């Protein structure tokens, strides 16, 4: 083999190696974004179905949490309510009705308060589970309510608060 032919052969080998590298690189480039997209779609699907599940999940009953709830903590949470509500026996209604004796009282039952139509139409009493649902999201439990309060997301805060509300009575309702 002449040195010229040898160089050609080496050149050919190098060319092939280069070609493999280049095509391999392009190949990766073509394949990667695809699998990346697929992964993204999967993640999006997972997170949206997760959100969906959280929304669709039924509200856990508050009753089991009341046994270990803390009324003193509830009194602290109640400060958010005190902007609009009074809590002592015989206190006047403010922006919202007085909340003395509210547990097991009928919906829209406080004398002298102008309730929304939504609240007036709500049948039944303020039992523990009803209060739980209302305090999570007032507008969902009583459509058209004029109580401008977003709600308390944390179940343990609602339990503490409901226990505190229960204490606002001469003969507090029995815990479920």
What burial letters (b/e) apply to 89-121, b meaning 16+ CB within 10 Å? eeeebeebbbbbbbbbbebbebeeeebeebbee
Q: How far is the CB of 77 from ligand HEC (least distance, A)?
A: 7
Of 167, 166, 132, whose CA–CA distance to 152 is shortest? Answer: 132
User: With respect to ligand HEC, which residue has the nearer C-beta, 62 or 108?
Assistant: 108
Considering beta carbons, is residue 96 or 133 the nearer one to ligand HEC?
A: 96
Q: Rounded to the nearest whole angstrom, what is the least distance from the CB of residue 120 to ligand HEC in the complex?
A: 7
Nearest distance in Å: CB 129, ligand HEC: 13
Tokens 């049948």 correspond to what residue? 123
Within 10 angstroms of residue 71's Cβ, the number of other Cβ atoms is: 17
Neighbours of 145 (CB within 10 A): 19
Measured from the CB atom, is 40 or 94 closer to ligand HEC? 94
Please report, as ranges, the residues that interact with ligand HEC according to CB under 6 A.
80-81, 83-85, 95-97, 99, 102, 107-110, 115-116, 118-119, 126, 135, 142, 145-149, 152, 161
Contact between 99 and 126 under an 8 Å Cβ cutoff? The reply is no
The residue among 81 and 163 lying less far from ligand HEC, judged by its C-beta, is 81
Question: Could you tell me the smallest distance in angstroms from the CB atom of residue 67 to ligand HEC?
Answer: 20
């Amino acid at each position: 083999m002449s040195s010229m032919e040898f160089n050609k052969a080496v050149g050919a080998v190098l060319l092939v190696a280069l070609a493999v590298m280049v095509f391999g690189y392009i190949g990766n480039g073509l394949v990667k974004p695809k699998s990346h997209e697929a992964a993204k779609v999967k993640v999006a699907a997972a997170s949206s179905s997760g959100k969906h599940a959280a929304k669709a999940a039924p509200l856990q009953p508050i009753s089991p949490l009341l046994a270990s709830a803390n009324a003193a903590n509830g009194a602290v949470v109640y400060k958010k309510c005190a902007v609009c509500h009074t809590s002592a026996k015989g206190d006047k209604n403010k922006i919202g009705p007085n909340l003395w004796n509210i547990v097991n009282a009928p919906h829209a039952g406080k004398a002298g308060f102008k309730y929304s139509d939504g609240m007036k139409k709500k049948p039944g009493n303020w039992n523990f589970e009803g209060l739980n649902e209302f305090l999570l999201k007032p507008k969902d439990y009583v459509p058209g309510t004029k109580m401008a309060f977003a709600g308390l997301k944390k179940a343990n805060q609602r339990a503490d608060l409901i226990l505190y509300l229960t204490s606002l009575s001469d003969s507090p309702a029995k815990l479920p």
